[in-house]
Structure 1
Amino acid sequence: MPPAARIIAGVDALSSGEVSLDGRPLKLTQPQDAMNAGIVLVPEDRKAQGLLLKQTIENNIAVGNFDLIGRGSWIRPKDKRAFAEKAIASMGVKGRPEQLAGRLSGGNQQKVVIAKWLARDPKLFIMDEPTRGVDVGARAQIYEAIASLAKSGMAVIVVSSDLDEVIGLSHRVMVLSRGRNRGILARGDATHVAIMERATT
């Protein structure tokens, strides 16, 4: 995961500069600070960082969303199940709430991670290599979800090493190389050649 994405998501501390959202500087010391500000992250390694593989789909969706499910300090099983079912339907996950996440296909695992954060209706969605290791059908659904989020007005940052994915999804492309911003290209200017020229300078 690029350092910038980790900083924006509150995973790593900021050493210089600032992170702002809606024109307001944010103080991010932990991921919860980012979540409270409306920033969520789908990590590149879903098995190690995005999911609890030995837990059910509904438990995975509940983690990070207890404040939306519970009433005070209590969480009723039927509320957790209803919340999970709604999230599962939002991404077309092929699985039942009681299924273990580790038994799902790679594509459905990724859709569970995305569905969990979609339920928070965030302001900024960061997706790190969102379609790595998923099948063609799941990839198309993830692309549709990203396009729908952007169309709704949500800010979406997609970190990807797949140039076709970057060019096909993005309104603007920032080229990062050796930790530095090498340029920002508008959609019409973001060609393979233009991106690679900046990446290799």
Structure 2
Amino acid sequence: AGLSTANQQLVEIAKALALDARLLILDEPTAALGGAETEALFDQVRKLRAEGVGIIYISHRMEEIKQITDRIVVLRDGERVQEFADSATPVRTIVESMVGRSLDRMFPPLPEPQKRSVLEVEGLTAADGSFRNVSFHVRAGEILGIAGLVGAGRTELVRAISGADPISAGKIRLDGRELSLRTPADAIAQGIVMVPEDRKDQGLIVGHRIGENLVYANLDHFGGHWITPRMKRDFADRAISKFGVKGRGDQLASDLSGGNQQKVVIAKWLTRDPKVVVLDEPTRGIDVGARAGIYEIIVNLARRGVAVIVVSSDLEEVLGVSNRILVLAQGKQAGILDRDQANDVSVMELATI
């Protein structure tokens, strides 16, 4: 319980690899992992394959599928819709069979940020030393990506900005005003909200209904009045419709797919009209179709003038949705790249300093 999500995933993988199995099923094994950890896993998978172990590898990361598999089977809405006998099949062809339509663009075009800075971070240092002396700003209508390897301090940084973790030094300013954030409630009250990396443990009460999860984060919306079933239903219906959740307000959150659970987490915070939205691994474990919908939500926030921060282990994702990218390496700020400077090589060079 004391490990990060990524290290919990590594322990679970190690447990499965230690079983001397004849058939190994890996379901989204790299969802929480960075590049180095993924390569180490692939080395193990190749060794097992050479020893005659059968492997079923489930992933939404298309480049991984192409890199590690011999055959590819595509499922959509519970049905087997396509099989590709050659892993050299183009990614676009695989993705189109997954979503059932042609994909012109995965990432929407980004709007031009405004000049006004909404969030300013100066010399921020974690109380536990997980990151040190980090400084940056996010403008209105800008999407700032945060990249780095596992353990670089990405999640710890955004948790501190969101009031979830303490700092030992540094300043956080919102619209030029310095904040003192001791709890997430302090940040929420100021207009800073966070969609955490682990939606089931930190983002939702999965045993409760969708409508209840939406209402919990917006009790002040009802002005202290007694919340009737009709008020809750109407509020939930509006949020579900606005953010494209495939579900009903009276459904348990645990009944939803990962993509729709994530949309509920996003919806419950965006109904507050925040000034700053932080998304930590917003598409982890989510299929390609739902992923495109979440990218559209992120870009629409920027179009409305919201300052957005996106943390992602998926390099293609952070490159695709960001106006600028802050790269962390071993808890230190390695650099900030403008969109026209950022690519796989430039980001990884900074991340491995």
**Under TM normalisation by the shorter chain, which class is it?**
over 0.9
**CA-based RMSD:** 0.9
The residue number in structure 2 matching 1:128 is 280
Instruction: Give 1:73 shift.
Output: 4.5
Instruction: Give 1:27 shift.
Output: 0.7
Cα-to-partner distance string for 1:136-162 (whole Å, 9 max, x where unaligned): 111000000001101111001000011
- Decide which of 297, 303, 313 is 1:151's aligned counterpart: 303
Q: Return the alpha-carbon distance in structure 2 between the equivalents of residues 85 and 143 of structure 1.
A: 22
Higher-RCO chain (CA-CA 8 Å, sequence separation at least 6): 2
The residue number in structure 2 matching 1:33 is 186
Supply the AA of the counterpart residue of 2:311: V
Q: Going by fraction, where is strand more abundant, 1 or 2? A: 2
The residue number in structure 1 matching 2:209 is 56
TM-score (norm 2): 0.56
Structure 1: which 4+ aligned runs deviate by more than 6 Å?
Answer: none
- Decide which of 251, 266, 282 is 1:114's aligned counterpart: 266
Q: SS in structure 2 opposite 1:12?
A: coil
Q: Return the alpha-carbon distance in structure 2 between the equivalents of residues 187 and 27 of structure 1.
A: 31
Q: SS in structure 2 opposite 1:18?
A: strand
Supply the AA of the counterpart residue of 1:9: S
Q: SS in structure 2 opposite 1:130?
A: coil
Q: Return the alpha-carbon distance in structure 2 between the equivalents of residues 72 and 41 of structure 1.
A: 24
Instruction: Give 1:74 shift.
Output: 2.0
The residue number in structure 1 matching 2:328 is 176
The residue number in structure 2 matching 1:76 is 228
Q: Return the alpha-carbon distance in structure 2 between the equivalents of residues 130 and 71 of structure 1.
A: 30
Q: Is the 8 A contact 1:175 1:184 kept in 2?
A: yes
Q: Return the alpha-carbon distance in structure 2 between the equivalents of residues 93 and 33 of structure 1.
A: 28
- Decide which of 190, 193, 198 is 2:345's aligned counterpart: 193
Gap runs ≥5 in structure 1: none
- Decide which of 159, 162, 171 is 1:18's aligned counterpart: 171
Q: Return the alpha-carbon distance in structure 2 between the equivalents of residues 89 and 124 of structure 1.
A: 23
Instruction: Give 1:72 shift.
Output: 2.2
Larger-Rg structure: 2
Instruction: Give 1:184 shift.
Output: 0.4
The residue number in structure 1 matching 2:138 is none
Gap runs ≥5 in structure 2: 1-153
Q: Return the alpha-carbon distance in structure 1 between the equivalents of residues 198 and 159 of structure 2.
A: 13
